[in-house]
């Protein structure tokens, strides 16, 4: 099965860049594939979905967040899973460490967001990851297990579930954990899902400083079902070379 390669553009891009890159990805054999997923700012998601439909492109689209409120209502500035679904959004990143840190996302809001995604049949990409100090004091397994336990509060049932391990110390730093460290956590994730959510089909990703240079090695680790790419996903040459694993 193809591995999932998710481009998380974060708060980057422009109309010009979207039009250019989406057309490139639609024509490239390595990226015009449902397992290649572009997670774009919502406003560009709309443009990308239009170009995708026009070109009949096969890559998938994702949003980087979703409202914790359901469907429609008086929630100024919010965008619901229902609205994102209408644009053809197949995946939703939920609980990225940047949102947990800068937007103060609470456990309750993460649970609601996951429920909202599942209600619209959008696959959640739930992110977990420890800080440098937690890694260094050796308590990371317990910390990650607690982050995973948020999933047990979700009311809807999981059919498919993507979990991304993104250690905070590896995001945007150029520092990448070694293969053993990545596999240790992805094994933990898979064992957790097998124990507590046995009906969910789990896809476990690694994210943090993935580049055209290190992607081949990471994607060929036994536990890695895909990668979540930040900075390198903004440059089509780098992103395409990641997708050629
Ligand atoms: P970088 O690839 O820039 O380290 O970002 C990783 C990330 O946060 C993806 O969600």
CA of 115 to the centre of ligand 1 (A): 25
Kindly report whether the global pTM for this prediction surpasses the value 0.85: yes
Give the position, in ligand 1's atom list, of the atom nearest the Cα of 232: 2
Closest CA to 228 of 237, 218, 220, 236: 218
CATH tag for 4-242 (out of 3.20.20.70, 3.20.20.190, 3.40.190.80, 3.40.605.10): 3.20.20.70
CA distance 73 to 196: 34
pLDDT in tens, 57-102: 999 999 999 999 999 999 999 999 999 999 999 999 999 999 999 9
CA of 55 to the centre of ligand 1 (A): 28
Mean pLDDT of 20-37: 96
Any residues with Cβ below 6 Å from ligand 1, and which?
A: 8, 96, 166, 171-172, 207-210, 228-232
Give the position, in ligand 1's atom list, of the atom nearest the Cα of 164: 10
Q: How far is CA 30 from CA 70, 190, 244, in A?
A: 36, 27, 6
CA of 74 to the centre of ligand 1 (A): 33
Among left, alpha and beta (phi > 0; psi -120 to 50; other), residue 94 is beta
For the chain, helix, strand, coil in percent to 5 are 45, 20, 40
Please enumerate in sequence order all residues whose Cβ is within 8 A of that of 158, keeping only pairs 6 or more positions apart, or say none: 118, 151, 197, 199, 200
Name the 3-class secondary structure at 12.
Answer: coil
pLDDT at 1: 59
pLDDT at 221: 98
pLDDT in tens, 129-178: 999 999 999 999 999 999 999 999 999 999 999 999 999 999 999 999 99
Over pLDDT 70: what percentage of the chain? 100
> Residue 189: is its pLDDT beyond 80?
yes
Supply angle C-alpha 145, 149, 155, rounded to 5.
Answer: 160
Output the residue whose Cα is nearest ligand 1's atom 7.
230
pLDDT at 197: 97
């Amino acid at each position: 099965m193809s591995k999932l390669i998710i481009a998380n553009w974060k708060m980057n891009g422009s109309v010009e860049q979207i039009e250019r890159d989406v057309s490139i990805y639609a024509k490239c054999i390595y990226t015009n594939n449902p397992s290649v997923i572009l997670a774009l700012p919502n406003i560009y998601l709309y443009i990308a979905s239009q170009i995708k439909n026009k070109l009949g492109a096969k890559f998938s689209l994702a949003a980087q967040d979703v409202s914790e409120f359901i469907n429609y209502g008086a929630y100024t500035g919010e965008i619901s899973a229902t609205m994102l679904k209408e644009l053809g959004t197949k995946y939703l990143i939920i609980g990225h460490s940047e949102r947990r840190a800068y937007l103060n996302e609470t456990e309750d809001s993460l649970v609601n967001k996951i429920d909202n995604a599942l209600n619209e049949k959008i696959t959640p990409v739930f992110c977990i990851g420890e800080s440098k100090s937690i890694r260094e004091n050796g308590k990371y397994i317990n910390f990650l297990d607690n982050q995973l336990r948020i999933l047990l509060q979700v009311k809807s049932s999981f059919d498919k579930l993507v979990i991304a391990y993104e250690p905070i110390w590896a995001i945007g730093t150029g520092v990448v954990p070694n293969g053993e460290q990545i596999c240790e956590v992805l094994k933990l994730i898979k064992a957790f899902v097998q124990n507590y959510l046995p009906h969910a089909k789990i896809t476990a990703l690694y994210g943090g400083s993935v580049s055209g240079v290190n992607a081949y090695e990471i994607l060929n680790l036994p536990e890695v079902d895909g990668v979540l790419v930040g900075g390198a996903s903004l440059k089509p040459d780098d992103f395409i070379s990641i997708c050629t694993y």
